């Protein structure tokens, strides 16, 4: 549907972002960007700005971009109140994260940076996720049987815990999955019409 003049590079190791881009019908190549996703300690960002900042930093660390390429990077974080919840350090940390999220609403914020020749688009999307209260054995089962280490908030919306535990989502499902593809599509439409 969308005809872009330049090749798309997706700077992400996330299989979920790759899946979302394929669902949207984009042709793209995945590129590896070596970047340590750390939030500066003395930052003055509002919480919704942190993922966009990290996505931009990731894009700036990609040194192999050719002039005509469209580079897309993203970063997703989970926030409980104003606390940043990233990826768990180990299984014990994953358990503690999920216990904190149990029975509560949390925000999933994904920041996106799209760089083209001469243009940069930055935006974010916010979704509210409402979890049911979990039993300890449900969390133990999930952590023992599913991959939790590479996910902000230690869960995935599309696997077992998301399926049985999410009572409601306000906002984009795909944002919770890792990429607000509706906003990416609109930005790429602007690029295509340039």
Write out the catalytic residue numbers: 75
What is the rounded (10 degree) CA torsion for 148, 154, 156, 160?
A: 70
Give the residue ranges of DSSP H helices in the chain.
15-23, 50-60, 91-101, 136-145, 160-165, 173-177, 181-192
Q: Residue 175 corresponds to which tokens in the numbers above?
A: 């944002």
Other CB atoms within 10 Å distance of the CB of residue 106: 18
DSSP letter at 135 equals: P
């Amino acid at each position: 549907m969308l005809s872009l003049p330049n090749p798309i590079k997706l700077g992400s190791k996330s299989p979920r972002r790759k899946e979302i881009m394929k669902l949207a019908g984009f042709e793209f190549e995945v590129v590896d960007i070596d970047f340590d996703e750390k939030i500066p300690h003395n930052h003055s960002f509002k919480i919704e700005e942190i993922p966009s900042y990290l996505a931009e930093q990731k894009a700036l660390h990609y040194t192999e971009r050719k002039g005509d390429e469209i580079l897309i990077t993203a970063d997703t974080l989970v926030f409980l109140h104003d606390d940043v919840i990233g990826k768990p350090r180990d299984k014990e940390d994953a358990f503690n994260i999920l216990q904190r999220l149990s029975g509560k609403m949390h925000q999933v914020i994904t920041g996106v940076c799209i760089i083209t020749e001469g243009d940069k688009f930055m935006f974010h999307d916010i979704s509210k996720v409402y979890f049911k209260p979990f039993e300890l054995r449900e969390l133990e089962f999930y952590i023992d049987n599913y991959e939790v280490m590479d996910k902000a908030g230690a869960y995935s919306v599309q696997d077992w815990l998301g399926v049985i535990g999410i009572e409601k989502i306000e906002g984009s499902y795909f944002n919770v999955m890792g990429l607000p593809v509706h906003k990416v599509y609109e930005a790429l439409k602007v690029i295509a019409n340039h």
